[in-house]
Structure 1
């Protein structure tokens, strides 16, 4: 691996508010961009927590003009189109995504469809005539976004929106930096709305993205600092979801870790476990974060031959004196065991037949191109089979 230092690190404008008074910043944030009409995008599970949701309503005050609460897992295209129409009907000038990753992605994707007014297949990342994955430039101005999260998702700071076609099972990726959130507001009451199990599975994605980002071939010490601290934070605070399930403090720390992992991995790129989880997750009975963590050691073994200098750094972050590849992967496996992650895809109801279809879909995932070792289809199928 080429470790020459050659980077460009441009930090997007992003504001983070955390604590009991975090939501009080919402009116000021809207005024900052001149937005008067704000629509909330959330799922049915958030609606059940009226006290938490009313805190967002109260903070928005006269700016609140409607609430789309039909968000569904994996952001299916029909739901995204419903959200698009809702934004149009309410003449929205800003979007507040409330909830987990699906709410954030649905809000972004709906904003793209609203602004671009074209079929989603003309807007998504696809292969060009030379077989390269390319994302079309989406020029239309987009509605400003803010996130009030209920789970520690790395989606907070991203510019991508991956939606699912329920008819074909395809994952269509939209990319537009103009949909990147203006900021995140970490409210302790909202943080407690998610069941501990859901917060746990989301934090596993934070852990996996940090580990994969720290193995990237794109060397960026600034991003490494974010990823390293995100990793330490997850290791320190994830066990508290069991010992203190009703405490907001562990959840807020995990949300900050999610923000760091999401921002850091923006510079280092995705990885093999991430790409495979995008393809396998919807075919399993488990959340994507669980599937991604399950696949992580297998992806690390696939990459091991080209990432030894990076694994040595990862060993230091994990507090290992033995900096060998085997020791690092073994440590990650011990942590996943501590985090109670299943060890086989069959344990989360993935069938052997699913592996072939997932391998095909994974090859069209942008994240697979940014790992330290780019696999071919046979490699992907072998990794999935080993994990099965």
Structure 2
């Protein structure tokens, strides 16, 4: 069996044919967004008061506390409504950190939670909310992967505390209901949860807090966003709402990528990235539940393997794990349709008449690799400084990642295909 054939084989699921984009449903929930200079000083307290809270508790990473003044700004803005902070949540939200943070919030009598930082802190705060409010066993409450059956996330019915997210990176986690913590002490290396009640009541995009994020980190979001929007150019939208969001996301990423090179220290392209992340979540909410990519509309996904990489190896940043795999995944994917290939090639400004489908696909992969290398991001797994001996463990980890493998799973075939992909990307 060839590598490409192994990668084509996957979970067999009954997928509804959403062929009519003008027959759809949409859903939303109440939230507020405040963006601007001194948004912490000008908007945070009013949101805490609006939510009826008296003891707001902050979660952040050690670097946010030691390298910025953001915690002090929050404390000054809230005054007597500030109940304390916990700054011991490290990258990928290790389970012991989250448990310790939960106990700190409980001891402080927290009645509102504030996440201050990047995606790790956002998702950790949602898990903390669950641990504070639910009484079940932590592992039993997590998403389960029963053998021979689709993954299932248990219903978590207890009311949750209100949350405000002060996000410092354009993470797609900013207003979602899913979350996960690193749990290397367990066989699945990650505990995943889903509870829409943990979505934030308010988002704050504070210019000073955003500008405190290292430029190299923000560049990674920008570069991957630009490439990701181009690779999604050929996807058919499920309905006009989704189409509008995705088209504007593409425009925002193109503008942000250009502005990043013109003026790296400007706030405008950073806010474009934040806006695109929010629109991506809105597009997901407005999509038809259960809708999947139509055949021939995209390349294979690197999400599962990329997630397994950066969870298992704390030194591997999430943006780098994706870039290290992406060109290889494109090369190894089943060829998309001519329409998709042309749309992607045009989005990357490399379309040429007369090329075969295979030549166009390889040209897209080459261009993606060229961009990553020109921008100083890893374009191969070797550059992540991991060992080939870890490939089986990485492949095994990638089985139990809900966003990439929620359906029926063939573990043996999945592991073979994942190892083959890692080898090809080496």
Does the C-alpha gap of structure 1 residues 350 and 231 become closer, same or farther in structure 2, counting only changes over 3 Å?
Answer: farther
Q: Which residue of 1 aligns with 2:184?
A: 166
- Secondary structure of residue in 1 paired with 2:253: helix
Contact 2:392 2:415 in 1 (8 A): no
Contact 2:182 2:311 in 1 (8 A): no
* 1:269 shift after superposition: 7.7
Contact 1:80 1:109 in 2 (8 A): yes
Answer yes or no: is 1:273 the counterpart of 2:291: no
2:29 to 12, 16, 27: 12
2:278 to 242, 259, 267: 259
Contact 2:237 2:243 in 1 (8 A): no
Does the C-alpha gap of structure 1 residues 229 and 354 become closer, same or farther in structure 2, counting only changes over 3 Å?
Answer: farther
2:39 to 22, 38, 43: 22
- Secondary structure of residue in 2 paired with 1:147: strand
* 1:117 shift after superposition: 2.2
| Mapped partners of 1:171, 1:208: distance in 2 | 28
* 1:191 shift after superposition: 0.8
| Mapped partners of 1:115, 1:232: distance in 2 | 41
* 1:226 shift after superposition: 2.7
Does the C-alpha gap of structure 1 residues 269 and 172 become closer, same or farther in structure 2, counting only changes over 3 Å?
Answer: farther
TM-score calculated relative to the size of structure 1: 0.87
Q: Which residue of 2 aligns with 1:382?
A: 420
| Mapped partners of 2:68, 2:424: distance in 1 | 45
* 1:334 shift after superposition: 4.0
Q: Which residue of 2 aligns with 1:87?
A: 105
Q: Which residue of 1 aligns with 2:394?
A: 358
1:291 to 315, 321, 326: 321
- Secondary structure of residue in 1 paired with 2:320: helix
- Unmatched segments (≥5 aa) in structure 1: none
- Unmatched segments (≥5 aa) in structure 2: 1-14, 294-299
Does the C-alpha gap of structure 1 residues 210 and 133 become closer, same or farther in structure 2, counting only changes over 3 Å?
Answer: farther
When you count helix as a share of all residues, which structure comes out higher? 1
Does the C-alpha gap of structure 1 residues 308 and 22 become closer, same or farther in structure 2, counting only changes over 3 Å?
Answer: farther
2:151 to 121, 127, 133: 133
| Mapped partners of 2:135, 2:249: distance in 1 | 38
Does the C-alpha gap of structure 1 residues 346 and 129 become closer, same or farther in structure 2, counting only changes over 3 Å?
Answer: closer
317-326 or 26-35, which moves further after superposition?
317-326
| Mapped partners of 2:108, 2:317: distance in 1 | 32
Contact 1:203 1:258 in 2 (8 A): no
| Mapped partners of 1:352, 1:232: distance in 2 | 39
Which structure has more RCO (C-alpha within 8 Å, separation ≥ 6)?
2
* 1:276 shift after superposition: 1.1
Query: How many residues are treated as equivalent by the alignment?
Result: 387
| Mapped partners of 1:379, 1:228: distance in 2 | 33
2:126 to 97, 101, 108: 108
Contact 2:324 2:380 in 1 (8 A): yes
| Mapped partners of 2:221, 2:125: distance in 1 | 18
1:344 to 380, 390, 398: 380
Contact 1:164 1:171 in 2 (8 A): yes
* 1:353 shift after superposition: 1.6
